[in-house]
Structure 1
Amino acid sequence: MGKPVHPAVVHFPIAFLFTAYALDILHTYRTSLPAFAQNALLGPNDITRSSYYLLSLGLLTAIPAVVTGGRELVMMISKQGMHEADGKTVRTKVKATIAHAVANDIVIAVSTYIWYSRRAQVNDTIAGKIPGTAAAAYAPSSAFVFAEFLTLGLLLMGANIGGTLTYNYGVGFSSLSAGKKEVNLRSGTYADDDKKRIEKAHAVHKSKIANGVQGEKGAALTGQALAGQGSPLTG
């Protein structure tokens, strides 16, 4: 797998789970909306059934996201190590990756439990066995909606961390980097090069201050040096 897969597949479970949670929350507070807004929405049974199927799709598409994400973590640690140069401090991006994984694992675990409970509710209740009322059996309980509300925040937090890992640290884009360098996709440069460039700029600034070459004085010295060399066209 030479191309990054995780950044490509992770959007599907995020989109499906986000929409499923949003529909359940909307269903719960539907009666609080103005009449015109309620009339513009799908029927209550359609909303709950749609959220259930979207939840199912979210869990299915989470499988390749988890597998490829775990692979990227293993590759990152094997190539660049877990610790900084001192051998003790854990790299910031490693800690962020672990936090990203834990947050999404919790989201998947909670979503799986809710999906299983709603599935059992449809199979075990009379409403679930009657064609005309089967869709109503998919309605989540208030406790599940509250859990989904909290899980939604965790989902967004995990997605934000994942975006930072991808665009600031280039995690998952090892094929675009050379050796152990980190790619900063926001600036189009290597993270290590950015650090060296900043350190070099600080060193030059300190050197100018130490030598007393500042502002106009530095420009004057440079102009005098160039004038002394003469023009290659005039000989």
Structure 2
Amino acid sequence: MVFDPKQYLHLYLDGELSKSDQRTFEAALKQDKELAEELNAMARVKQDIQRYYKSIPAPPKSSVSVSRTGSFKSTVYAASLFLAVIVGFWGGHSMTDSSAYTSQQQTAAASQQTKSGKNVVLHLDTNQEERGERLLQEARLLLEQSSLSPELGPKTLEIITNDLGIEFFAENNPHKEEILALLSRYDNVKLIACSRAIERKQEQGKAVKLIPAVASDRLALDIIVEKMQQGWGYKKF
């Protein structure tokens, strides 16, 4: 199987790669400026999420042991330090040092924010069927809530995809009719696919034909950070 470092970005940032895969990925980072810049952008999004939701109380402790949690945070911190070195090597933007923001905290914070009556971003970066279905379910609930109680539901809902998630908006996606039904029923929903993810697919000879209603002229991560700075709610699938 051909090694595709693109698929390891989130696993690397979350400290979930094996030692062997981590070394392979870091070697790829040293050779690929664009990959390093994209990883840096993702790291900055995680940091922005952490700062944005800092005032929200942390969720109850999970059943994960303290030693394992400590090890996880150490791995993430080490990854951040390595990334800072690589980005510096390529002359990219410097990173602001901050502690890791766990996926559990992000999910808890996002669940609260998506129900607060604010505009909302739903983010998908995988082609896993289960996650796409969960996103659609959340979108339907939020849009219905907005229709019944405008003061509670989001005024605008944007579904943003990047990486393999852009396949969710493909013409041949099995959820196409459900997505089109949302667009037809609600006028406050917008679909966005990352321009860089589309370019990568084209470079690989795997161009994705998107649903006509999908906007695809900007980087997904730039849009997400911009929306969060404007006070939008955010939830990743």
> What TM bracket, shorter-length normalisation?
under 0.3
Higher strand share: 2
Choose 1 or 2 for highest CA Rg. 1
The TM-score with structure 1 as length reference comes to 0.26
The TM-score with structure 2 as length reference comes to 0.26
Higher helix share: 1
